[in-house]
Structure 1
Amino acid sequence: MAEAPAILRGGFRPFFLGAGVWGALAITIWLGALGVGAARIGALDPLGWHRHEMLFGFVGAAIGGFALTAVPNWTGRLPIAGAPLGALALWWLAARVLILAAPDLPLVLLAAIDGGFYLGLAALLLREILQAKNRNIPVAIVIGLFGLADLADYGGAAGWVGFNVGARSAIALAVTLVSLIGGRIVPSFTRNWMQRERIGCPLPTQPTRFDAAVVIATAIALAAWAFAGSPVLTGIALAAAAILQIARLARWRGWRTFAEPIVLVLHLGYLWIPIGLFLLSAASLGLPLPQSAGIHALTVGALAGMILAVMTRATLGHTGHALHADMVTRVSYLALHLGAAARVLAALLPEVYLSLIYIAGGLWIAAFALFSARYAPLLTRPRVGT
């Protein structure tokens, strides 16, 4: 691994950089298409391309980077690095480029390349986990299902399945994964910081059966929403999951972390999960709220918020730097969460919808452009001290 270029010495390096750059670039492309009223972006209509690339381009890259970095820590096996990692990164990149640059290719082929990446990644991770007899098999399974959701999203564009099935399934899977992994890292990192700072109050505990119940309840509620179950029962399930998530988050005592933004931002990102669940519940129960408000609370707020929090922290830690958010990092956090609030408000305030869309998009672009500019040097250079 030491002989490989620095960017190929850990899964977080190419995929976190890809997530940051693509996150900023994809929204720039989409806002441009929205501004000129474009009929297509590559092979898809603008809305279809936007949601596909945010989920399977941006979110998928971050999931891949996290999993490829976490699995060696879980299993004690050597990380995937060098040429194999480069091949995976190019596979992900090819899916992003082809849907834009080769719109005349059959959707079946584009789907096979894009969805196949996640199915291949899941198989690779599952092999590592099984050989080490590790307990994190569900993570590989979720990534495999994410690949199937990718295929379903192409199927929706082609009219072969329901239009929303793929995207909603991907959101449900990604939020469930954040709930599962977040339930481990948020209390752990918070506890470590509180002990280091000698903050005298009850410390967050490791996950318990209650946490498992919260994750299961969230997964069931989102599955019902994704597959258009009974609106009333779905709304009740989403509301119950939201209440459980609030109770879970309160146990982690995030209000004690205001002095350290790199810890606080984990709690802020996670807070968007119950907000999104409540908004989806209200829409399912017939209140005059659009589904879009809850969807963007979960995607822009929870998924992107946790992705940015984890990418900054993991990059600093794995490259040998202090776990401290500098001013650029803090501004990126602020821009993202203000953008999330603006995007949710855009769904709730139709009279200023377009203005808020552009504000939210601009703040999103700023957040991930700042991340890319600040962290690209760390991701492309050897670890400090090596």
Structure 2
Amino acid sequence: MILNKSVNRQPRKVHAFWLFFPAASLLAAMAVPLSVWAVWSGTGWPAGLLGSGHGHELIFGFALALIAGYTLGPQPASLLYPLFGLWLAARLSWLLLPDSFSAQLLSPVFALALAWYVVPRFHAAKKWRNRIVGPLILLICLLAVIFGLSGALSVPDEPWLPDPFRLMHSAITGLLLLMTFMGGRIIAPAVAGTLEKKGIPLDARVQPRIEGMLIVVLGCSVFLTAFPVMNPVTGFLLILASGLITLRILRWKPWLCRERPDLLVLTAGYGWLAIGALATGLALVMGTALIPSLHLITVGALGILSTSVMLRLAWQRSHRRPPAAGEVFPIAAILSAAAVSRFLAGESPFSEPGLLWLSATLWALAYLWVTFRLFVLARHLQKPGK
């Protein structure tokens, strides 16, 4: 009787992704078209999405919410809801009053709070490759703090000192590394398990040597991207990373998993990592604009991988099975078209408003649909007997 009372007193835990995933998806759906509207309309509203602001929200708002939802796991409401409230307050402050003290404070505070709870989870791993996730998440969180200080510390025309835009590029490269590692850890065992059921052995699973090389190559790129003087070296490293990612995909043989559309779409998103890394590397080597190629990473790779992971996790939790083809194929196609449209819009996208608006609209439609589906799946889980 005493044992039952102590068990009942334990706080009820909530899966973090049911809270952070829909919020992140809704933010993504709103931020991109609003950032285009802020410039195109001439109103400058919302101010927080002008210039590097929309990149700030998609990395330090959207991406960090994805990390929170995926890595926090079940948490007591007393921890999860205040953390989510901090994230929401940071987003509203940045969108409406980006130059205010609250905006400059809340976003870094959320990033540091998230790192405080998430990073220690990865310390128990024995192999250095398995422990890289914690420091990498910490780095992305710290970049949210450094970004706020960079405007005051940067010196114009000084190639050895990073400005806010270059720090944003470093954060994107950090996300490239994080998606490369985490995506591989999701795809490899899933593909291997699917092929084993069909009697097809897969020797190349995690591929530790290639994974280790990718961690080193992209880890160096994260640091070097912040310094324009190192562009040729960074470009070569990203081209090398693109080749390694492509080789890794080929050794997985995902085309043999036609009955698993969720794995095919995840692999397609992983392929966008190779495309984005190659295009960005070539731009750095040739001295051309980085913005179009970076959007291949943020729109193509991040878009497809994030929507796939969100839907896959929600479907597994609510229905105990992966999403069907009709759930994931259209979203992957829409986001691929959005990535190509934004790339074709070039360095000065407002000179190609049709392509820019097409990209923003497709991106928003994809994430609005994901937001809707997440709410439907959450309600299904709340039905009696679930």
Counterpart of 1:331 in structure 2 is: 330
Are the counterparts in 1 of residues 31 and 49 from structure 2 also a CA contact under 8 Å?
no
- Give the superposition deviation at 1:350: 6.7
Counterpart of 2:51 in structure 1 is: 47
Counterpart of 2:75 in structure 1 is: 80
Structure 2 counterpart of 1:293, one-letter code: P
The answer for unaligned runs of 5 or more in structure 2 is 1-6, 155-161
Task: Summarize the alignment of residues 208-219 of structure 1 with structure 2, pairs less than 5 Å apart.
Answer: 208-219=208-219
Structure 2 counterpart of 1:38, one-letter code: T
- Give the superposition deviation at 1:353: 2.5
Q: 1:104 to 1:50 in 2, by over 3 A?
A: closer
- Give the superposition deviation at 1:277: 1.5
Measure, in 2, the Cα distance between the counterparts of 1:37 and 1:4: 54
Instruction: Find the partner of 2:112 among 91, 114, 119.
Output: 119
**How many matched pairs?**
370
The answer for unaligned runs of 5 or more in structure 1 is 70-78
Measure, in 2, the Cα distance between the counterparts of 1:315 and 1:379: 8
Encode CA deviations 1:278-323: one digit per residue, 9 max, x unaligned: 1112111226x42112211111111222111111111111234321
Measure, in 1, the Cα distance between the counterparts of 2:41 and 2:64: 28
Instruction: Find the partner of 2:68 among 54, 64, 69.
Output: 64
Structure 2 counterpart of 1:149, one-letter code: L
Measure, in 2, the Cα distance between the counterparts of 1:82 and 1:21: 22
Measure, in 2, the Cα distance between the counterparts of 1:174 and 1:345: 23
Q: 1:164 to 1:377 in 2, by over 3 A?
A: same
Counterpart of 1:154 in structure 2 is: 148
Are the counterparts in 1 of residues 21 and 66 from structure 2 also a CA contact under 8 Å?
yes
- Give the superposition deviation at 1:356: 1.0
2:306 pairs with 1:301: no
Are the counterparts in 2 of residues 151 and 166 from structure 1 also a CA contact under 8 Å?
no
Task: Summarize the alignment of residues 248-263 of structure 1 with structure 2, pairs less than 5 Å apart.
Answer: 248-263=248-263
2:13 pairs with 1:19: no
Are the counterparts in 2 of residues 243 and 274 from structure 1 also a CA contact under 8 Å?
yes
2:103 pairs with 1:110: yes
2:87 pairs with 1:92: yes
Are the counterparts in 1 of residues 46 and 96 from structure 2 also a CA contact under 8 Å?
no
- Give the superposition deviation at 1:369: 0.6
Q: 1:102 to 1:283 in 2, by over 3 A?
A: closer
Q: 1:2 to 1:23 in 2, by over 3 A?
A: farther
Counterpart of 1:361 in structure 2 is: 360
2:287 pairs with 1:292: no
* CA RMSD, 1 decimal: 2.9
- Give the superposition deviation at 1:93: 0.8
Structure 1 counterpart of 2:331, one-letter code: S
Q: 1:351 to 1:364 in 2, by over 3 A?
A: closer
Q: TM-score, normalised by structure 2?
A: 0.86
The answer to which of 249-258 and 154-163 deviates more is: 154-163
Are the counterparts in 1 of residues 231 and 285 from structure 2 also a CA contact under 8 Å?
yes
- Give the superposition deviation at 1:328: 4.2
2:132 pairs with 1:144: no
Encode CA deviations 1:230-285: one digit per residue, 9 max, x unaligned: 23222222222221221112111122334432111111111111211211121112
Structure 2 counterpart SS, 1:126: helix
Instruction: Find the partner of 1:28 among 33, 50, 73.
Output: 33
2:237 pairs with 1:237: yes
Measure, in 1, the Cα distance between the counterparts of 2:9 and 2:331: 33
Structure 2 counterpart of 1:253, one-letter code: K
Measure, in 2, the Cα distance between the counterparts of 1:286 and 1:141: 31
Task: Summarize the alignment of residues 307-326 of structure 1 with structure 2, pairs less than 5 Å apart.
Answer: 307-325=306-324
Are the counterparts in 1 of residues 61 and 91 from structure 2 also a CA contact under 8 Å?
yes
Measure, in 2, the Cα distance between the counterparts of 1:82 and 1:4: 11
Measure, in 2, the Cα distance between the counterparts of 1:350 and 1:36: 14
Q: 1:201 to 1:343 in 2, by over 3 A?
A: farther
Measure, in 2, the Cα distance between the counterparts of 1:146 and 1:118: 8
Measure, in 2, the Cα distance between the counterparts of 1:51 and 1:104: 16
The answer to which of 296-305 and 342-351 deviates more is: 342-351
% identical equivalent positions: 25
Structure 2 counterpart SS, 1:80: strand
Q: 1:255 to 1:222 in 2, by over 3 A?
A: farther
Measure, in 2, the Cα distance between the counterparts of 1:214 and 1:4: 42
Are the counterparts in 1 of residues 202 and 252 from structure 2 also a CA contact under 8 Å?
no
Structure 2 counterpart SS, 1:58: helix
Are the counterparts in 2 of residues 111 and 150 from structure 1 also a CA contact under 8 Å?
no
Measure, in 2, the Cα distance between the counterparts of 1:378 and 1:2: 27
Counterpart of 1:74 in structure 2 is: none
